[in-house]
Structure 1
């Protein structure tokens, strides 16, 4: 791939805006160039009047002069579209608390755009509709921010946590990662009460405050891999269903979380783990193909109950 040097210079500027200080080695790694080339990019910024300060020697680094304010932001058409769509997609993450802030941010974005891009974003507001999934759990944005800080600063978090059995416990947690998966947010880290790694659903955290005590998180911790192993215990039903459609017909219409689709008998064998059989039964009825439930028997009972309700509604 060919890179435009001017784009690399702008990338250096963006990295310096985002960080208080960036080492020359990191800039070279991010841009895939030599340290000498990084020096040329920095010199180019300085020639343009951007006050970039440098520290020489081993571990040398660059920063923008403290107090320097950059001119108004400029976006390409794709960047403006990405930002506008991202602001509108907050409901899909269960962050309805942030919607007023998103509207203000959208208005600020619009004011920074030239007329043609402003018209494109305005058209997006008029013609694009994003449906909020019923499976997304609403999340307190302030709680999410606090947990982000706990993980970023390495501060222990003191939680009041409600289990699925409605039992309340006080937990002191070293939060390693905060993850959104399958419609819910989770905090993952070391629980000092249990003396082991645990995951905590944010919608079950009733209080949270940060403590002065700090910790050092493990390097390269994979929270998603841990959740894949841990969460099946929260889904008590092992489901095996055959559907009269090929796997490619179902992909994109089925949650991939703890779900396996494989071809079988001119159709698809779907095995998964779920907590709510009623919502899964509704999915089966709405997928639009014939199916056969092999397990669990509780799912067949839920489907019989739904069939009776449908018959009563039709007779009414």
Structure 2
């Protein structure tokens, strides 16, 4: 397969995914193989919550629409154009890349899957027990579009064997196991990361409302979810709580409510001072990783000192949300809309796959 052919296959997948939304899923006449896949995928979307209680239809639809928006010819060309020299010089043999995927949010491992196939390699995939159905279904669709992919995609349930390279995503604990187990293989090993927002007190209601999207999307389970706020000394959270009130319905979801009740009780029993609006607790804490239904906050006195701190802590941070207060800031409400060229842990997967022998 040429690179252009591979790109065209994923463009077709993007068109297929674009048909599915929370408001209404409607078949489009120009989408390939709808007669085979459309109705079955609709059923799978609504079954997802039975496979993983956090995968509500709303969250799954959001993930699908995000990938539909990403998988366009324009985006694929823009993403891959920066690697033209690497593709041209890539004379290494086809590699089998073992992918150990996370399952915290729907299709969280799709970018690695895409990167392996778009670079002409084989994907040997071990899905998370929390996300075993969506990616295999989309793989079947890709194979229907181009049958040559059948030999490029393998899902395994047991031990991973006969592979050349590894991309593994897990927790800080599992990463130590991965680093030991795969010490003799070229690898990308991803650990826990969290995202933070810097507030100044000058944010508009709309910006704070959009920050709520960064906090509550996927119930806060993703590494791109904001779990830590940096606020100036004397900051009042009144405007923040007013703006995020639109997300109050999250407490009606049982799994989230259980976490809210449990984590709030733990904090109170430990005599921690909390700010609480009935569906989110705020706790002053220097850590980046807050539990579900809670966000940590920390006061700062000097922006330059905070920027240096964040640079020093970069290995723990996935995204920084602010009004352009850092060089790599993401706009409010945009953390869960990464582009194809936004790499997890800032590790360039395409360069790794094209240059590793």
Q: Relative CO higher for 1 or 2, CA cutoff 8 Å, sep ≥ 6?
A: 2
Higher strand share: 1
Q: TM-score, normalised by structure 2?
A: 0.24
Which protein has the larger Cα radius of gyration, Structure 1 or Structure 2? 1
Q: TM-score, normalised by structure 1?
A: 0.26
